[in-house]
Amino acid sequence: MDWMSVLAGGIAITIAAFLSILLLFVMYRIDSCIVRLTYGIDEVANLKGGNMALGIVLGSVILSQALLFRHALVPVMTVIRMAFINPHGQMQIAWVAAYALLIIAIMGILSIVVVGMILWLFAHINTAIREQDEVLAGNTAVAVFLALVIIGATIIIDQGMEDLAMSLVPRAERGIIPIR
């Protein structure tokens, strides 16, 4: 058994657990700020007031962002595992930390932007229903419909996000090794 690999796996699970809660909360707060600044809606007050429709839509937004963001974990964990298995000093640790944070930032921002674009685009295409007004009025049927549109579009976009995340994984150097 390779104990460095086991240690790297344990650290990966710990980081994933910590990041999942932290980043979902951060995404929720960013979403709340964007909604408040863009539409003047106080999500917290609406949720505390029992607006189930808004809760359904917000839940689908967070779920969709999490589905897209989860792809950041593979490149981050790969970089961390490479650092544990092939340690190269403190400069390597600094590079790994910076690269992992960069991947997290890129994928987090893209997750928020992509789901926001889904909402914006659908609202502009579907002119028969003003989703925002209906959700704020507590229309659960519209909320469930909009939530499933968000999740459905996310499932379709998911593969592209996975491909992007995999392109962020550093590749090993290739070439010919001379044998003497």
Tell me the chain's radius of gyration from C-alpha atoms.
Answer: 20
Taking the whole predicted model, whether its pTM rises above 0.85 is answered as no
DSSP assignment string, 42-80: -HHHHHHTT-HHHHHHHHHHHHHHHHHHGGGHHHHHHHH
Answer yes or no: are the C-beta atoms of 27 and 111 closer than 8 Å. Answer: yes
Taking only the tens place, the pLDDT of each residue in 42-75 is: 888 888 999 999 999 999 999 999 999 988 888 8
Taking only the tens place, the pLDDT of each residue in 154-179 is: 999 999 999 998 888 776 666 666 67
Taking only the tens place, the pLDDT of each residue in 20-29 is: 888 888 888 8
Nearest to 63 by CA among 90, 105, 27: 27
